[in-house]
Amino acid sequence: MVKDQKIIEQIKDYLKTHNLKQYELAQRLGIPPPTVTRWFKAGSIGNQSIQLLKREGVIK
């Protein structure tokens, strides 16, 4: 698990820019919505999720 507020901020920016809700992002990524919620509540994201976010262009 990576605890990095910069990643969370990038995800928030992506949501805002694309006018998406967290559950819509989860649908686009093919993951359960509670996973995205957990990222925001815990402030940490697993390495596989980070790779998925990068591959889908959500984060850099």
Non-local CB neighbours of 13 within 8 Å, separated by 6+ positions = none
What pLDDT is attached to residue 44?
Answer: 86
Q: What percent of the chain has pLDDT over 70?
A: 97
pLDDT, tens digit, 9 for 90 and up, residues 20-46: 999 999 999 999 999 999 999 988 899
pTM of the model: 0.89
Specify the pLDDT at position 1. 66
Between 2 and 11, the more confident residue is 11
**Contact at 8 Å (CB) between 4 and 25?**
no
C-alpha to C-alpha distance for 26 and 3, rounded to whole angstroms: 19
Residue of higher predicted confidence among 36 and 1: 36
Neighbours of 49 (CB within 10 A): 21
Tell me the β-bridge partners of 2: 45
- Integer Cα distance of 8 and 1 in angstroms: 13
